[in-house]
Amino acid sequence: MPERPEPGRAGTVAWPEGGLARAEFVEEVRAQGALHYRDLPWRNVDDAYAVLVSEIMLQQTQVARVAKYWERFLAAFPTLDALAAAEPAEVLELWQGLGYNRRALALKRAADVCAADFGGRLPETAEGLMALPGIGPATAAGVTAFARNRPAVYVETNVRAVFIHCLFPERDRVADREIVPLVADTCPPDDAREWYYALLDFGAHLKQAVANPSRRSAHHARQSAFAGSRRQKRAEVLRIVLGSPGVTADVAHERLNEFEAAGGRGSVDRALFESIVDDLVAEGFFGREGEALRA
């Protein structure tokens, strides 16, 4: 992957034709961001760990749902050291309802590394952050911009929506390689936090007001239905094990079938059930002791 351009250095890239000029774009983002500002609990927070938790939770999860979990999670695990000291089952229990449970385990593993190697603090650089489990470029940029108010190249779905809507109004299949230099070019050197809040809030508004511009991204993928999916079955098996430590595989399979029946679906083949259990064990969600499943 080519190196990302350095943010906070305006005027260093060619501006695309067919959309707003650079000055017009910046003015429009500032105005729309102020008009549609969302006062979210994790905003204007200088605690990098708290911001990291919000960024991980917000991956593939709606803002309204995250708002119900973020404060509760931080109350239970207020620091990286507290999260590192927790049992994985405790972390997963508090994560139930957010979905994509791998994120919880990755966050726990990142805390383990920070507690062991960095004195219970997150690394100061984006490169250091990305060396931790579960932290990619967008998450590292989010921590850098929102917690530390430093320039960063932060690209996520709402940010994409704004750039595509304003700068590529007639284009489909707009690639991130076209957007990233523009994100870097417009990120201010001394106000990254407020700039990205404006982009996020403008983007969220656009998705309500017009056809979602993110669908014109080359990287857009429609999310598959959750109900009845393997992903839902995985989540239910994990919920069963967390709720009944030491439950046998036979009983867990029976309870999964009861859950499926309540949703108007047929029973789960035993081979599929065992495959799901094997995956969850391999990924560290719980262990298997004979027939007993225990987180």
The residues carrying an active-site annotation are 55
| Number of residues assigned to the chain | 295
Closest CA to 206 of 67, 36, 57, 31: 36
How confident is residue 227, by pLDDT bands cut at 50, 70 and 90?
confident
Q: Which residues contact 171 (CB under 8 A, 6 or more apart)?
A: 18, 164, 216
**What is this structure's pTM?**
0.87
Is residue 6 pLDDT above 90, yes or no?
Answer: no
Closest CA to 209 of 169, 161, 155, 157: 161
Q: Name the β-bridge partners of 289.
A: 292
* Predicted pLDDT of residue 220: 77
The encoded tokens of residue 227 equal: 């109900």
Q: What is the DSSP letter of 287?
A: E
**Interval 40-87: pLDDT, tens:** 999 999 999 999 999 999 998 999 999 999 999 999 999 999 999 999
**Interval 240-290: pLDDT, tens:** 999 999 999 999 999 999 999 999 999 999 999 999 999 999 999 999 999
DSSP string, 211-280: S-GGGGBTT--PPPP-TTSHHHHHHHHHHHHHHSTTEEHHHHHHHHHHHHHHTT-PPPPHHHHHHHHHHH
